[in-house]
Chain A
């Protein structure tokens, strides 16, 4: 595995790791006992906040009846939770590759909590989908080979992808946990995930910042610029996955492919997409990658 023994973890980072471990231990819960899982989800309304639906603000939204919006909210929540489940699988693989390997001695104790918690998240999101919708959506991504990158660049990219994915997911979870119009079962999974993710995002921010400093020390400005472009592409990919043809199809929308293209191109969506990624952009501006 990629050696990172050159990374200098600051005392501040080590302290933050210890503090986050303490909170993880204090907040620990048994996920298999935490949720009620009622027979059906009640009340009979939206499963996802109206403002979070991919059609919100678009011309296409005007054409949908209330019943169709309710149906769409169910399948878009299934899409969101499926994305989270698939994303967790990928990030677990990467963290597993690094735990207890040279260079990762300082973050490793926290990786144990992270891995345990993410496994549980994957379980309860998948459980929600399977119980109440009968399926989780397949991952539509495909991994194409890339040019070999330096190990410290890879580390920075991998932990950036984890952080970006967690920040965007949390935008939805935090909002849905706070939305009193949503059914309690829906709010509960979002609330619990949001609580754990606050720690992961705090940790991820510190880790990515340390890895970025390493990248800046060892790479040219052009290479740093290139990785910035790459991460912008990754952020854009996550935004595109929020517009799910499968969800449009399951909601009974005619010609879901064309519908998806129209919704994504609707001018109302640009500002909304910008809000979804605002926290991520601010973070990368702060550490000096985005301008």
Chain B
């Protein structure tokens, strides 16, 4: 998760608060439409899996914990 938090920080250089597993990334505007594609690119690189964006919604990216569950949990 280190990489993801670093990426979010790089996109929000003025952010002082800590990003924890349950920080609301959408409410706090830490993920934005214009950087979303880059974020998906990062997730695909980290997981080595392809992400079908059309089957997802904004809520799937709400927190680090959520992202972890959705994209990094072992495939059943």
A residues contacting B by CB (< 8 A) are 138-147, 230, 233-234, 236-237, 240-241, 245, 249, 256-258, 260-261
Contacts and interface: CB of A to CB of B under 8 A. Distances in A.
A143 B37 contact: no
18 contacts: A138-B54, A140-B37, A140-B40, A141-B33, A142-B33, A142-B53, A142-B57, A144-B31, A144-B33, A147-B29, A233-B34, A237-B37, A245-B50, A249-B50, A257-B44, A257-B48, A257-B50, A260-B41
The contact size tier of chain B is: 20 to 34
A241 B36 CA distance: 11
A240 B44 CA distance: 15
B36 to A, nearest CB: 5
Contacts of B38: 240
Contact of A138 (B29, B36, B53): B53
Contacts of B35: 233, 237
Contacts, number: 60
A237 B34 contact: yes
Contacts of A249: 50
A142 B34 contact: no
Contacts of A138: 53-54
Given A138-B54, A257-B50, A144 B36 contact: yes
Interface string B40-63: 110011001010011011100000
